[in-house]
Amino acid sequence: MRLLYRDAAARPWCLSACLLLAAGFLAGCSGGAEEVAGPRNLVLISIDTCRADRVGPYRADSRDDVTPHIDALAAEGVLFERALSPAPTTLPAHASMLTGTIPPYHGVHDNGEILAGDNRTLAEILGEAGWDTAAFVGALVLDEAFGIAQGFDTFDPRFDTPRRSDRILERRAEHVSDAAIEWLDQREAATPFFLFLHYYDPHQLFDPPEPYASRFADDLYDGEIAYTDAHIGRVLERLEALGVSESTLLVVTSDHGEMLGEHGELSHSYYVYEGAIRVPMVFHGPGVPRGRRVDGAPVGLVDLVPTVCSMLDVQLPEAADLDGIDLTPRMQAEAEAATVERAYYAEAVEATKYGSNPHLAWSGPRLKYIESRPPELFDPLADPGEEHNLAPDDAVRTFEMRDALFETIESRQREFEDTGVSDAAAAERLRGLGYVGAGSAGSDRLAVDSERPTPRETLEFHVLNHQVPHLIFDGKLDQARARAERMLSDRDDYYGGHRYMGEIALAEKRPAAAAEHFAAALERKPGDAVLRRLRADSLHRLGVRMQTQGHRGEAMARYREAIEAEPGHVDALTNLADLSAAGGDLDGAIELYGAALEHAPDHAEIHRRLGVALAYSGRPEQAVASYRRAVELNPESFELHAELGRLLIDSGRREDGVAMLQRAVQLAPSGSAARGDLEALLNQ
């Protein structure tokens, strides 16, 4: 493991250094200090997209009403001044937070990828040691489908209170805390627990609820953080009420920051400058010194696993191959005796989606190297905005740090099979959260090629790529079109411009044009699940238009093309089945309805239509079975009961049929013609 800051004075982190740290730890604990029992429980809180300098103790301004609960924890615990994330993207950063390893090792470099099962998570380690483990997450990007749920007995990704639209699958801090409090109230008190809470609110777009929207009208980002802090406070209050706060280790951190326009980036994921990777890190609880602020060399999210396991007195597995170290000596030391000369890796692969090199960083005790052209070397402590490049005046350390960066990638990188999400619906929901092209960086994303552009050279294109979908979503189609056309003029080889033009055409109800644009996008990104779905949708809509205009043959051809683009397109399968049945091809219709039900087995109307086709084709037993399933799925439909009743009577089961018709009468609207017809039928 080569996570070392290499200069003339540096030496490897080895056994002798461990002994020195242990000595420093013992010295820091001596002097008559009262021995404190260690923690029994762990609550790890991750506030998504929370810059360190927006949390009270880190702020440069005098505002003290944003994070009062976190501030109180820091005042009574330990705050690490410079904590770093290995990635400015949610899923990779959390994978590192929960495994203690960097992205080249755990294999997740982007949202929408899947954490391989051979990674050991903190939840698995604690669960095997006897802890109850539970996670309550605030957004789809940490859904269990992406492997992040490994080891949790309870994993709650219920996005039942979507924000802004049903495409944005996230839930507010209030509901994350509600679910966590309910779990705390119901759990067995005798067992120690690990509770992981993920709050997504500070992520763009910034729209805190009242009263935070009014209180922070001048800075809605602060408002989102303040709102989240308030609901973290509710969890802290419940821990106190349950009598477990004194035995619980609390850790508050974030997965990454937010650039807020620095270096030209409005959000995050593109760069590894401090605004994107510096995060808060606060420890509070039994065994944690009170009111200590740890300055000096950086620490990282990768350090959380070994640190909390040390504090909980849980043995790490012998095979654990971690990039992080135990931070307890640095918490306890009164001076710099516990300062470790080590460096931290960070990566951003977003630019590789545009054919550019990745943005990579190597952060040492004082200096930080960023792979670029020309290379960049900064002193973030003296220059937090990273505006003054020191590389031209310090070539020796620049290239030493560059060598250490790429040695680490080489030594820690593992090969994985394709880890990208293949489900089109899930990928599209991720895009609704603002992750354009999630999980599509490519296998060479960490390779640097002098022939490729730097991220800075494709930043303007990246900004356009993030603006257009928001404009489409907001219905500002003319503005979206202008930017998408600009994207096409700059980079016709990038699929996104064609995709956006297709989405604009769909919004304008021009399905034929949409289908052409999606086909062009697929040529540039073959096999993309979302593009296949979008093309299938546009062809299906074109088929519906042809059908309403009476062009049956054209409609069937478009439906077949939609099914070819996406074999599981339920609407296209169903509509093609309807037209086949209307044309007398009952066997073909039955086969198509069956195919649709393979992808939508709980669709009552398709079961009904299959039942009709089976009845007309002389298969009454199968027809009854299909109708019964439709009734099970929609038990309040008087029409289904009535049709099944008639079918049963026609097939010789009069008693069953009469009972079904009687139920239909009960369900039919009082005084309706349908109810009268049913009553007349029963009286025959």
What integer pLDDT is reported at residue 1 of this predicted model? 28
At 673, the pLDDT band (50, 70, 90 cuts) reads low
Position 559 confidence tier, pLDDT thresholds 50, 70, 90:
very high
- Looking at residue 25, what is its pLDDT? 32
DSSP helix/strand/coil, 253 = strand
For the cut 50, the answer to whether the pLDDT of residue 585 exceeds it is: yes
Question: The pTM is what?
Answer: 0.80
pLDDT at site 13? 28
pLDDT of residue 35: 41
Output the pLDDT for position 466: 87
Give the pLDDT confidence of 105-138 residue by residue, as tens digits: 999 999 989 999 999 999 999 999 999 999 999 9
Q: Could you tell me which residue, 10 or 542, shows the higher pLDDT?
A: 542
Give residue 438's pLDDT band: very low, low, confident or very high (50, 70, 90): very low
In this predicted structure, what is the pLDDT of residue 34? Answer: 36
Three-class DSSP category at 500: helix
C-alpha triplet 106, 145, 276: angle, nearest 5°: 55
Strand partners, 250: 43, 284
- Could you give the C-alpha distances from 350 to 347, 454, 488, 496, 531, in angstroms and in order? 9, 12, 19, 14, 19
Identify the CA nearest to 606 among candidates 619, 596, 617: 596
What average pLDDT does range 11-36 have in this prediction? 33
| pLDDT band for position 483 (cuts 50, 70, 90) | very high
Ramachandran quadrant class, 151 (left: phi over 0; alpha: psi -120 to 50; beta: rest): left
Cα–Cα distance list, 124 to 61, 118, 309, 314, 549 (Å)? 41, 11, 12, 12, 59
| φ/ψ (deg, to 5) at 157 | -105, 35
Q: State the Cα–Cα distance between residues 258 and 245, nearest whole angstrom.
A: 31
The percent of residues in the chain predicted with pLDDT above 70, rounded, is 86
Q: Return d(Cα 240, Cα 284) in angstroms, integer.
A: 14
Query: SS3 for 463?
Result: helix
- From the number of C-beta atoms within 10 Å of its C-beta (0-12, 13-18, 19+), residue 509 rates as exposed
- For residue 444, what pLDDT is reported? 73
Q: What is d(CA 579, CA 585) in angstroms, rounded to the nearest whole number?
A: 9
Centre a 10 Å sphere on the Cβ of residue 474 and count the other Cβ atoms it contains: 10
Question: What pLDDT does residue 340 have?
Answer: 62
Q: Give the separation between CA 644 and CA 656, rounded to whole angstroms.
A: 9
For residues 96-111, give the mean pLDDT: 96
Q: How far apart are CA 351 and CA 242, in angstroms?
A: 48
Give residue 649's pLDDT band: very low, low, confident or very high (50, 70, 90).
confident
**pLDDT-derived band at 166, boundaries 50, 70, 90:** very low
Q: Tell me the domain boundaries of the chain.
A: 44-339
List beta partners, residue 83: 279, 299
Average pLDDT over the chain reads 87
Task: Over range 241-263, report the average pLDDT.
Answer: 96
* Closest listed residue to residue 310, CA positions, set 324, 323, 297, 293: 324
Give the model's confidence band at 236: pLDDT under 50 very low, under 70 low, under 90 confident, else very high.
Answer: very high
Three-class HEC string of 108-160? CCCCCECCCCCCCCHHHHHHHCCCEEEEECCEHHHCHHHCCCCCCCEEECCCC
Structure tokens at 212: 């935070």
Identify the CATH number of the domain defined by range 44-339: 3.40.720.10
Cβ neighbours of residue 467 closer than 8 Å, sequence gap 6 or more: 483
- Scored b (16 or more CB within 10 A) or e, 235-263 reads bbebbeeeebbeebbbbbbbbbbbbbebb
pLDDT confidence of residue 421:
53
* 78-80 sheet: strands from edge to edge: 154-156, 132-136, 193-199, 41-47, 248-253, 281-284, 78-80, 292-294
SS3 481: helix
> What pLDDT, on a 0 to 100 scale, did the predictor assign at position 528?
83
**Is pLDDT larger for residue 31 or for residue 631?**
631
Pairing of strands 359-363, 154-156: unpaired
Which helix (H) or strand (E) covers residue 638, if one does? helix 638-650
**For residues 569 and 646, which has the higher predicted lDDT (pLDDT)?**
569
Per-residue model confidence (pLDDT) at position 169? 66
Given a cut of 60, is residue 10 above it in pLDDT?
Answer: no
Do the Cβ atoms of 577 and 589 come closer than 8 Å?
A: yes
pLDDT at 478 > cutoff 80? yes
Q: Express the helix, strand and coil content of the chain in percent, nearest 5 each.
A: 50, 10, 40
What percent of the chain lies above the pLDDT cut of 90? 73
Beta bridge partners of 345: 362
**Of the ranges 143-147, 275-279, 348-352, 392-396, which one carries the lowest mean pLDDT score?**
143-147
- Tell me what pLDDT residue 159 has: 64
Q: Mean of the pLDDT values across residues 269-280?
A: 97
pLDDT confidence bin for 29, thresholds 50/70/90: very low
